[in-house]
Structure 1
Amino acid sequence: MNFQHSDKVKSLQQRLNAFMDEYVYPAEAVFEAQMDAARESGNRWQPAPVIEELKQKAKAVGLWNLFLPESKYGAGLTNLEYAPLCEIMGRSHIGAEPFNCSAPDTGNMETLVRYATPEQQQQWLLPLLDGSIRSAFAMTEPEVASSDATNIEARIERDGDDYILNGRKWWTSGANDPRCKVLIFMGKSSPDHTNRHQQQSMILVPIDTPGVKVLRHLPVFGYDDAPHGHAEISFENVRVPASNMLLGEGRGFEIAQGRLGPGRIHHCMRLIGRAERALEAMCRRSLERVAFGKSIADQGVTRERIANARIMIDQTRFLVLNAAYKMDTVGNKDARQEIAMIKVAAPSMACQVIDWAMQVHGGGAVSDDFGLARAYASSRTLRFADGPDEVHRNAIAKMELGRHLGHSSSN
């Protein structure tokens, strides 16, 4: 793998960093003020005006839809080329949406590019690419261990020219947002199929379909994440046209595997940016503060943590770049071990680096003054999103053991 970024990527990095410096970082405080005002008025799920302004600015200068490798709809970047750009966006908790590169829309758009019919793409993909609507992914269920997709119990039943959906989902991120217009719903269409990986299907569900009811928003460590939010939703006899089925009945598990790979690596890319910003804050704070007669930066434990943070961030970055390279060269399926490895490594690394930064900031770190509490909460949550650590470690071990099956040890 060539670690040297192309001239095209270097130019985009420069432009993206300049945009972040000029517009995004200053907008963080504006965003929080606008959301505080929205909550006080009882209207917290309305989009923050500053984000919509940023989107128009980014679109005007061509910093838009930078993901989507191997697609006529994106910026023509590979996963490896997108990685350093996604890292820059990840430095801010509002950094991805201005460029139309935020989850779950990126994963849903990749799903529609890969698996949707031209008619489905016309109806849903194009508005998502334009940023005029948002979407959500309804997979996880409160009653089963959803880390095993074959456990999904929501039902998709054929009825003439329609399908009828029943079930309950939660952690359907983005469904509280009034801009969310479509859900990708996963459920069992053939529960008795002998192949448990062909029991599930995925289908497109307009969120305003009768029977779709957002029951509540789910806070994350006390953060409501408005206006995005995370919803628990019930589906009661929801009728949608058979033409809304993605790829075909029984292909849901296959789609999930194809969708989650890019989503996982995007999360990891953003986490590197988040950890970099935390390390920068830790260094600045340690140089500014004095304790027991010398700066915190002169304390041995602080220097050890700063050094370890740099090592851990760079280790994780190289793992992510390697996974991106493998996805580009051999495909997502053959890169599944590398993807699983970064999904374990990146959130744990970010949590540790942010935790050390919090220690240097003292009691103020658990407030909202420095952004570290929010960064920690979201990073810790990503140890669950797209599969918990235990599932990925199990998959990594199975693939590793598979290389040795049938070979006796000579040692």
Structure 2
Amino acid sequence: MDDLPLLQASPHRLEEDILALARFTQPDLPYTRLAFSPEDRQARQWVVEQMRSLGLAVRIDPAGNILGRREGQDPRLPVLMTGSHIDTVRAGGRFDGIVGVVGALEVVRLFNEAGIVTYHPLEVVVFTCEEPTAYGFSPFGSRAMAGQLDPAQVLRAVFPDGRRLADLLKDIGGDADHLAEARLDPARTLCHLELHIEQGAVMERQGLQVGVVTAIAAPCRGVARFVGRADHAGATPMSERADALCAAAELVLAVERIARSYPDMVGTVGFLQTHPNMVNVIPGRTELHLEVRSTSPEDLVAARQALQREAYAIARRRGVEGDFAWLYCDEPVVIPSSVRHHLEEACQQVGVRWAPIVSRASHDSARLASVIPVGMLFVPSHRGLSHCPEEWTDFEQIATGVSVLALAILRLDRYGL
């Protein structure tokens, strides 16, 4: 046991901050705060004001990421980062991402109240646009920090309603012309820690207070299209049909079957479009978007190959045209043991019920992992619900996670990696 202080986060302050951010939503569709929207800009301004009230020096990088810096005793040392995102999906929740931001602010409050000045500079980060948008670049801010965005593509990107991504980025303080300058310098960044809700029900079932993430599953996303023949639904015999939707339905079930054949994989078809989409017309065209996720690179490769073979086999059997392409496939992230050690020791010293856990959802930390060490802590999600208004984590549980986060930061500050 070392002499680092055990700081108790305030559930009341965390509740106030979370409810304050929840006010920034489309009034007719809670909780909706889409990236670059008026609600997002208002929430970002609220965060900036909170940072300044805590004595942080605030800057916005070219990708629109908000960074609040608390100087350390030695400005030559690399930065310790912590934070997450505040944008939501449509009709999302009040905790996804937000817990990591208000938790980081609470850590700064605790350090201020205790008179703690870390050796390393500490930066609270709010990542731009973690959730998917029509631009297709999400997560935007963390990808920019990892050097994974093509500035030319960003400059060309136009929203379906005609708005340019570069203009929206400028509205929040970013600069698409200098996007490359948002990339982190690994020599100047020690580590990034992210507190997050689990978005699953494992922790609640096991009675855990904190989860120490060991790996972040990677999504592989693809698109399949089938072209058959649109015919009269009543006059065309079953033996003479080329039904594109039936082909798509087979592939949906194949995604489920193939994902179940691997121990650490999930598979989903979340988008399905059919044409002409009329009750009395046999579907002539379908398009579906699918994804599989796993922490095993080998299993992802095998599943990708199996699904692609299956799509073309279905098309041949049903006498329709088939086309399949993988849009992208990320690499699973293994959290460095040196980072996990400090998170686990912090859990032990705070005295919480904890266990190692896999993140099946992706996060900003997964992008940063390609350039700097990262670590993640989970707090429980009630009934595993997320990306919906019913998303909930008790404020006392969040406070416990913040207390562990604060100690983990102090351990990294003193002992390094």
Is the TM-score greater than 0.5?
Answer: no
TM-score (normalizing by structure 1): 0.30
TM-score (normalizing by structure 2): 0.30
Which structure: greater helix fraction? 1
Which structure: greater strand fraction? 2
> Structure with the greater relative contact order (CA < 8 A, sep ≥ 6): 1 or 2?
2
